[in-house]
């Protein structure tokens, strides 16, 4: 599968391998990691949760959008859920295209769309508190900061 939600650490090379094509002159990757400082606050760890079946569908939708916009592009995206510590890999996006400019543009498009439409939420844990962040634009805001599995409809 080129679009996945994983509870295990992401094998970066396996994501890249999914987009290798003989016609591709470029493969770009985006590797999103957990950073320690956000707006001056020290993060201890993150908890990612997702409405998994819908998240996979939305990742595939992003791949289709890219393949329509950039002909001959091939996309693979894996996002991790669960507890992630500082420097852990949260998301890997690989895009192959015949030319490098398209690969760079398509990869950036992918991460921006993930932030917009994929039902994945993260709870940031700091030295002095915690909060759910990242409600996606196409989801409803919930008092807890994230919906439960049955709250979203396909």
pTM of the model: 0.87
Q: In this structure, what are the phi and psi dihedrals at residue 104, rounded to the nearest 5 degrees?
A: -60, -50
Range of the domain at 100: 3-143
pLDDT digits (tens, 9 = 90+) for 9-22: 999 999 999 999 99
Residue 153 lies in a domain: no
Residues 6+ apart with CB under 8 A from 45: 34, 83, 84, 85, 86, 125
pLDDT digits (tens, 9 = 90+) for 7-58: 999 999 999 999 999 999 999 999 999 999 988 889 999 999 999 999 999 9
The CATH number of residue 57's host domain is: 3.90.1170.40
Residue 151 lies in a domain: no
Question: Cα 90 to the chain's mean position, in Å?
Answer: 7
**pLDDT for residue 40:** 85
Residue 41 lies in a domain: yes
Residue 149 lies in a domain: no
Structurally, the chain folds into a number of domains equal to 1
**pLDDT for residue 133:** 82
* Angstrom distances, CA of residue 14 to CA of 20, 77, 92, 131: 10, 11, 10, 32
Residue 31 lies in a domain: yes
Residue 53 lies in a domain: yes
Residue 108 lies in a domain: yes
Residue 81 lies in a domain: yes
Pick the closest to residue 118 from 87, 82, 150, 146 (CA basis): 146
């Amino acid at each position: 599968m080129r679009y996945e939600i994983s509870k295990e650490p992401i094998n970066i090379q396996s994501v890249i391998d999914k987009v290798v094509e003989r016609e591709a002159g470029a493969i770009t990757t985006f590797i999103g990691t957990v950073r320690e400082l956000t707006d001056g606050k020290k993060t201890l760890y993150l908890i990612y949760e997702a409405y998994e079946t819908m998240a996979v569908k939305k990742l595939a939708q992003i791949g289709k959008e890219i393949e329509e916009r950039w002909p001959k592009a091939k996309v693979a995206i894996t996002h991790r859920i669960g507890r992630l510590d500082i420097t852990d890999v949260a998301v890997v996006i690989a895009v192959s295209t015949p030319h490098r400019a398209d690969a760079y543009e398509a990869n950036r498009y992918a991460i921006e769309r993930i932030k917009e439409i994929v039902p994945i939420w993260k709870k940031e844990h700091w030295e002095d508190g915690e909060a759910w962040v990242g409600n996606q634009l196409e989801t409803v805001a919930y008092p807890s900061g994230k919906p439960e599995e049955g709250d979203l409809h396909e």
